[in-house]
Amino acid sequence: MLEARSVALVGASPRLGSLGARMIEEVAKSASRPRTYLVNPRYASVGEVGCFPSLAELPETVDLALLAVPDSALEEQVRAAAAGGAARSAVIFGSAVDSAVDRAVGVDDARSEPGLRERIAGVAREAGMPLCGAGCMGFVNVARGLRAIGYTEQDTLPAGPVALVTHSGSVFSALLRTRRAFGFTVAVSSGQELVTPAASYARYALTLPETKVLALILEAIRDAAALRAVLADAACRDIPVLLLAAGTSVASRSLVAAHSGALAAGDGAWQALASAYGVHRVGDLAELADTLELFCLTRAGAGRGHPTSARETGARGLSAGGRGIATVHDSGFERAHVADVAAEVGVPFAPLTEETMRRLTAVLDPGLEPGNPLDVWSTGRHSEELFTETLSALADDPGVDAVALAVDLVPEYDGDDSYRDAVLTAAAKTAKPVAVLASIPAAIDAAAASRLRAAGVPVLESTRTGLLALRHLLAHARLAHAPADTLLAGRADAPAGPAPRRDRWVARLEAGPLGGADLFDLLRDYGIPAVAVRSAVTRDEALAAADAIGYPVALKTGRPDIAHKSDVGGVRLGIAGPGALAAAYDDLSVRLGPEMLVCAMARPSQELILGMARDPALGPLIVVGAGGILTEHLAERSVALPPLTHESASALLDGQRFAKILAGVRGQPPCDIDAVISAIAAFSVLVADLGEHLDGFDINPLICSPSGVLAVDALAAPAAASRPLLA
């Protein structure tokens, strides 16, 4: 498909402005000059080129058929392409909906018989025929000179190191026309992906040696295993992957389903993929464009004019020893504003050495203080030399990862090019990334930006998106220097727990529901400390259990059909002796039945929730969040694919407010963070081993204290079971 040497244009037309006419024009621009056949029974020829009445009458089996036909004719043409191998692959531009009603809701009909999309997909799969679409713009293989689109694009498409796969046709066109300093190896508008998913195009893109950055714009995960394999390959080859995902909100997911008929991944699924494979999630298209330009033009992503891998930058650009960025400003207010935004989005400024401070002091005007970020506003005398030296001094500092001249880069009506020339000179003197951080996209001097970009200096077009792009750059450098075992976290081939332990608990789960006390045995077997728990079905058994555990104890209903015990008055805490326990047992047994759990009491401290959730595409996910009263005040969570290494479990706490509370605030002693991380990692191994046999599992809460962690309550829902298991 993507390197087709022969192409059939079904629906070719002489009518100016029609899809069939534009398709002819665009394929004709292909530098690879594929053998092209026009197919349309309505015309004997288009111009001087003859038309074939059908695919069946072509003189050869074509590699690719472009189907510019109405939805009403799509099934017939797909069957014709598949029949006898008339075409090896196809692009479907149309939406492939059955009727006006279906077109209104954007999905196939809900009748019992297969809809049009399902029928088309079935025909193609049976024939082993890849399909691009439906509802797509097609693709361009810039690296191999093939255009398979039916919409007019510029004669020369931007070539470069980016491979783009997007579900959105509008984004496909917009990125091809950005006039930013990045180009493409291959760009695919994959549409509804009736047969061929985004991961297949990305897999092909990674086979091209020219591909150095992978950009994915996705609204659904249609082949999770294939996508994970591609992301793992990109990570191992140090190819940055940028992801812009739709469907991160409830409202957005419903819109995605209506648009494409696919189940959108929730934000937790995207977060888990990103953390497992070092994917750079961007929040919008502006951030994507700035980040693409930064990766493509700097040596951390692709090298100035000569793309390199991120691991090469350890010697030539960003290194493991860097500690942040440095910026130079010509405005005191804008310096403070950049500092504010950088703090908000988590971009650190590097501390400067004494030598750097001396170099800055030597060139600054009186009254200006050296520092980072740096204000160098002056009277304008020798401004080019001033900016060149300050940028160079900062770039030479061993703690600085990247340098940016944070100016408006507006047109200078007096012809002063000192800012532009200073950046060019400073960039030429260092192997570190040097960029311009502009503030207002509409005010940028297009000529100056073009000159800078041509020389390999990125022009980031707004403060926030530019700083976010720099954050991605720093993150990728850290990933390139991360320990090898960190890169195994969440991978399909990552090592999980010992087989005998896994097999033992799988057998237990398959044999039937686990009792409440058994759940705590499961946790302890996987290395997660848990309170002592014993089951009881009589008052005497409860009293014996309390004697064995030691007072004070907690008494809880053991009924497996009650998910939230406290909601029904099914919990008694701090029972100090046999008399109180007997009275509590009698009360609970009358109301809720005789099944009870007698549990050791845990000292109150900070609380976390460790949970397992099942994503429809990715399967079991690990969820870590604040527990207890913090749940109401800190509505945040971290999500990851199991299993996790100790390092990747630690990363789940990074940046979370509840992590700061665990570390000790307002005079509270810090919790044993290493024990918390070990519990998260151990729980992730449990989920990796047993997740396919569970629909859900929660430890709520996990008590975290200076002396360690302790699971005091648990809930598990076995796969294909209607009742949760409780403890």
Q: What is the pLDDT of residue 510?
A: 86
> What average pLDDT does the structure give for the chain?
88
Residue 507 buriedness (CB in 10 A; 0-12 / 13-18 / 19+): exposed
Compute the average pLDDT of residues 293-311.
56
Compute the average pLDDT of residues 675-696.
94
pLDDT greater at residue 637 or residue 393 = 393
Phi/psi-derived region of residue 223, left when phi > 0, alpha when psi is between -120 and 50, beta in every other case:
beta
Compute the average pLDDT of residues 467-480.
91
Nearest to 679 by CA among 606, 609, 600: 609
Residues 6+ apart with CB under 8 A from 396: 356, 359, 430
Query: Using one digit for the tens of pLDDT, what is the confidence trace for 33-73?
Result: 999 999 999 999 999 999 999 999 999 999 999 999 999 99
Is residue 632's pLDDT more than 80? no
Q: Which DSSP letter does residue 324 get?
A: E
Q: Rounded distance, CA 201 to CA 195, Å?
A: 12
What is the distance, to the nearest Å, from the Cα of residue 554 to the centroid of all Cα atoms in its chain?
43
Are β-strands 434-437 and 459-460 bridged in parallel, bridged antiparallel, or unpaired? parallel
Which two three-digit tokens encode residue 440? 């207002």
pLDDT band at 495 (very low <50, low <70, confident <90, very high): low
Is residue 136's pLDDT more than 60? yes
Residues 6+ apart with CB under 8 A from 711: 520, 523, 528, 529, 530, 531, 679, 699, 702, 703
At CA 188, angle to CA 310 and CA 169, rounded to 5? Answer: 120
Q: Which DSSP letter does residue 86 get?
A: S
Is residue 491's pLDDT more than 90? no
Q: Rounded distance, CA 194 to CA 215, Å?
A: 21
Q: How many CB atoms lie within 10 A of CB 351?
A: 14
Q: What is the pLDDT of residue 627?
A: 79
Compute the average pLDDT of residues 318-342.
87
Q: What is the pLDDT of residue 322?
A: 59
Is residue 665's pLDDT more than 80? no
Contact, 702 vs 626, CB < 8 A? no
Q: Report the sign of the C-alpha dihedral through residues 146, 150, 152, 158, in that order.
A: negative
Q: What is the pLDDT of residue 82?
A: 95
What is the reported pTM?
0.87
Q: What is the pLDDT of residue 482?
A: 63
Contact, 253 vs 213, CB < 8 A? no
Q: Rounded distance, CA 297 to CA 456, Å?
A: 5
Which three-class secondary structure state does DSSP give residue 593?
coil
Q: What is the pLDDT of residue 481?
A: 66
Q: Measuring CA to CA, how many Å separate 660 from each of 49, 544, 670, 675?
A: 71, 41, 9, 15
Are β-strands 459-460 and 533-536 bridged in parallel, bridged antiparallel, or unpaired? unpaired
Q: Report the sign of the C-alpha dihedral through residues 453, 216, 160, 65, in that order.
A: negative
Q: Rounded distance, CA 395 to CA 299, Å?
A: 14
Phi, psi of 580 (to 5 degrees): -65, -35
Q: Measuring CA to CA, how many Å separate 653 from each of 527, 556, 647, 681, 696?
A: 20, 31, 10, 12, 22
Say what angle helices 499-511 and 673-690 make with each other, to 10 degrees: 60
Position of tokens 């009881």? 536
Q: Rounded distance, CA 726 to CA 563, Å?
A: 7
Contact, 531 vs 523, CB < 8 A? no
Contact, 108 vs 98, CB < 8 A? yes
Residue 500 buriedness (CB in 10 A; 0-12 / 13-18 / 19+): exposed
Q: Rounded distance, CA 635 to CA 555, Å?
A: 30
Which three-class secondary structure state does DSSP give residue 258?
helix
Q: Measuring CA to CA, how many Å separate 480 from each of 25, 311, 472?
A: 44, 5, 12
Is residue 302's pLDDT more than 80? no
Residues 6+ apart with CB under 8 A from 344: none
User: Strand (E) positions, 288-396?
Assistant: 324-329, 374-375
pLDDT band at 75 (very low <50, low <70, confident <90, very high): very high
Position of tokens 């026009």? 38
Q: Rounded distance, CA 240 to CA 213, Å?
A: 5
Is residue 417's pLDDT more than 60? yes
Compute the average pLDDT of residues 698-708.
92
What b/e readout covers 29-48, taking b as 16+ CB neighbours within 10 angstroms?
bbeeebebbbbbeebeebee
Residues 6+ apart with CB under 8 A from 148: 1, 4, 7, 26, 27, 64, 66, 91, 132, 138, 139, 140, 141
% of the chain with per-residue pLDDT over 90: 72
Give me the domains of the chain, ranges plus CATH numbers: 1-134 (3.40.50.720), 154-282 (3.40.50.261), 319-481 (3.40.50.261), 499-506+513-600 (3.30.1490.20), 606-718 (3.30.470.20)
Q: What is the pLDDT of residue 263?
A: 47
If residue 436 lies in a helix (H) or strand (E), which one and from where to where?
Answer: strand 434-437
Phi, psi of 648 (to 5 degrees): -75, -30
Which three-class secondary structure state does DSSP give residue 243?
strand
Compute the average pLDDT of residues 85-107.
76
pLDDT greater at residue 377 or residue 614 = 614
Is residue 280's pLDDT more than 80? yes
Query: Using one digit for the tens of pLDDT, what is the confidence trace for 586-607?
Result: 999 999 999 999 999 999 898 9
Query: Using one digit for the tens of pLDDT, what is the confidence trace for 218-255?
Result: 998 999 999 999 999 999 999 999 999 986 555 544 44
Contact, 288 vs 462, CB < 8 A? no
Contact, 116 vs 74, CB < 8 A? yes
Q: Rounded distance, CA 58 to CA 73, Å?
A: 19
Q: What is the pLDDT of residue 162?
A: 97
Is residue 484's pLDDT more than 70? no
Q: Which DSSP letter does residue 474 get?
A: H
Position of tokens 């077997």? 525
Lowest-pLDDT range, 127-141, 263-277, 634-648? 263-277
When computed from its CA atoms, the radius of gyration of the chain, rounded to whole angstroms, is: 31
Which two three-digit tokens encode residue 117? 């999309």
pLDDT band at 256 (very low <50, low <70, confident <90, very high): very low
What is the distance, to the nearest Å, from the Cα of residue 52 to the centroid of all Cα atoms in its chain?
46
Amino acid sitting at position 228: R
Q: Cα torsion for 493, 494, 499, 504, to the nearest 10°?
A: -100
If residue 521 lies in a helix (H) or strand (E), which one and from where to where?
Answer: helix 516-525
Lowest-pLDDT range, 308-317, 399-408, 593-602? 308-317
Compute the average pLDDT of residues 638-655.
89
